[in-house]
Amino acid sequence: MELARIHLAGPDFNELNFFHQADPAEALKKVLNASARRYLEFDIALRNRLAELRAGKLKADAEKYKRSGIIDTAAMRTARQAFDETNPQKAAEILLRAGYDFLSDLEVWHSFDIDVVLLFSMRLKITEERSRFDAVRGRESFEHELARALEKQ
């Protein structure tokens, strides 16, 4: 972000900074760029649908976990596919791939402008998150948590 601060004008840097906030619903309140807003809406719709599916399974109310009334049919399909996946890592990969592909589709309509910078930065963030997946570390973490759970019994 420090390099971006040097090379982007104030309003463009603010857009980039808002776009990378942890809570997409909060970012959506501040981001003005249409492409960034469209991705945030997709992300919120995806999270909302996952909340609904998880709440249904637990017989709980999803409304307190949902961020807004945004509906996106692609997000609904992706959420269902990830929810139905029994392997948590594969489910996470489904969600990350969907976000990456959505950003790539948005970028097609832009030459090099601030939209490309915003969309590329989010694709980079997704790539970084995906690179943290590691079978050995995952297995070690699982075994550690299993041992902790068995100790509590």
Alpha helices in the chain (DSSP H): 2-7, 10-19, 24-30, 34-58, 73-84, 88-107, 114-131, 135-152
pLDDT of the residue at 141 = 74
Q: What pLDDT is attached to residue 129?
A: 85
DSSP 113: S
pLDDT of residue 2: 56
Predicted local distance difference test score (pLDDT) of residue 3: 54
Residue 50 buriedness (CB in 10 A; 0-12 / 13-18 / 19+): buried
- Residues contacting 6, CB < 8 A, separation 6+: none
- 1 close to 17: Cβ distance less than 8 angstroms: yes
The pLDDT assigned to 9 comes to 67
| pLDDT reported for residue 49 | 95
Mean pLDDT by 10-residue block, N- to C-terminus, for the chain (153 residues)?
Answer: 59 67 79 86 93 93 84 93 93 94 87 80 86 77 78 70
Going from N- to C-terminal start, the domains of the chain cover 2-152
pLDDT at 115: 80
Q: Is 87 exposed, middle or buried (0-12, 13-18, 19+ CB in 10 A)?
A: exposed
